[in-house]
Amino acid sequence: MDHAHHRRKLLARRSTIPRPALFLDRDGVVIKDCHHLSNPNQVTLLPGARELLRHANATGWPVVLITNQSGIARGLFDWNAYELVTNRLLELLGPDAALAAIYANGHGPDAPANSWRKPSPAMLLAAGQELNLDLSGSLLVGDRLSDLQAGAAAGLAWLGHVLSGHGQHERPRVTACIGPCGQFRGENPSSRQAQAVLLESLLDFPFGLLGPQAPHHDELFYR
């Protein structure tokens, strides 16, 4: 584990049986994108974020945040500032809209392809292993093409793209990667193709995808 560039916060129980999860990007999806956010007082939940997490919690779906934080590599803030922002985010969400885990990396754009930086699927794969997730049945929502590319490379079933954050700018690139039947065309055409859906915001998320999952009672799994 490269502790200089990677951070994980596991907040939920590890399941004894694989279960699908909902993966969300942070800036521009769950909270307002403030461009290299480092001030916890600027953390603002986006419309629909808390409601979606509350529904996922109620139906037994783990929610995992996956976030690129290149401001660390750029020297704009450090991991201590990142943790303050994280703590404020968790405070705003509250216990009934809890996250199962948060995965972050501080790499810049020059990160190697096998790093945790999206579009690499490494953060999703790590979450899948550590939380015992069924990635083939999992969902993801992001505002950048790299979010969807990471989800597709991890073998997820469904990818949602929102217009919040960088979504407006990224929408044409995302649309170009969606086939006529709604399949996301990733970099590996031979891999299983995820269903891709264009959303305005999290307010448009189809809650019906989050069918009830059986509760689980395993030991807490922290790192």
**Could you list the active site residues?**
25, 27
H/E stretch holding 68 reads strand 63-68
First to last CA, the chain: 12
- Helix, strand, coil distribution of the chain in percent, nearest 5: 35, 20, 50
One-letter-per-residue 3-state SS of 9-27:
EECCECCCCCECCEEECCE
For residue 177, count other CB atoms closer than 10 A to its CB. Answer: 18
CA distance 6 to 22: 21
- CA distance to 33, 75, 115, 169, 219, per residue, from 24 (Å): 14, 25, 19, 19, 24
